[in-house]
Amino acid sequence: MVEQVEEHTSVGVVDVGLMVKGSNNYGMPLELSDGCFLLARLARGDVNMPNFDGALLESQVRFDAATYTLL
C-alpha cells in the first residue's frame, strides 16, 4: 500500500503510524516527506480473511456521505 500511495501522490512516505481498527475499515496514518499527513483506509473486505464478504459498496457510500455531512 505504501508503494501505491507514493506512486499516486509522487511523494515519499517517511513514517507509518499504528493501524487502528474501525467498524468497517482499518485506518493507517501515514506521514509524507512533504510534511503532510494522510489517513489510508482499508476496507475489511480488502484484507485477506477467509469466508468474509465486505459490506456492500452502496452501504459504505451511504455511511461515508453521512459521516462527511456530520463533519
pLDDT score, position 33: 96
Q: Can you tell me the distance from the alpha carbon of 27 to that of 20, in angstroms, rounded to the nearest whole number?
A: 5
pLDDT score, position 26: 87
Q: In what helix (H) or strand (E) does residue 31 lie, and over which residues does it extend? A: strand 25-32
Look at the pTM and tell me if it is higher than 0.85.
no
* Beta-ladder partners of 16: 30
pLDDT in tens, 26-66: 888 999 999 999 988 887 766 666 665 655 667 777 888 88
The structural domains of the chain, ordered by start, are: 2-70 (2.40.50)
pLDDT score, position 66: 85
Q: Can you tell me the distance from the alpha carbon of 50 to that of 37, in angstroms, rounded to the nearest whole number?
A: 32
Q: Can you tell me the distance from the alpha carbon of 30 to that of 45, in angstroms, rounded to the nearest whole number?
A: 21
Q: Can you tell me the distance from the alpha carbon of 37 to that of 62, in angstroms, rounded to the nearest whole number?
A: 25
pLDDT score, position 45: 67
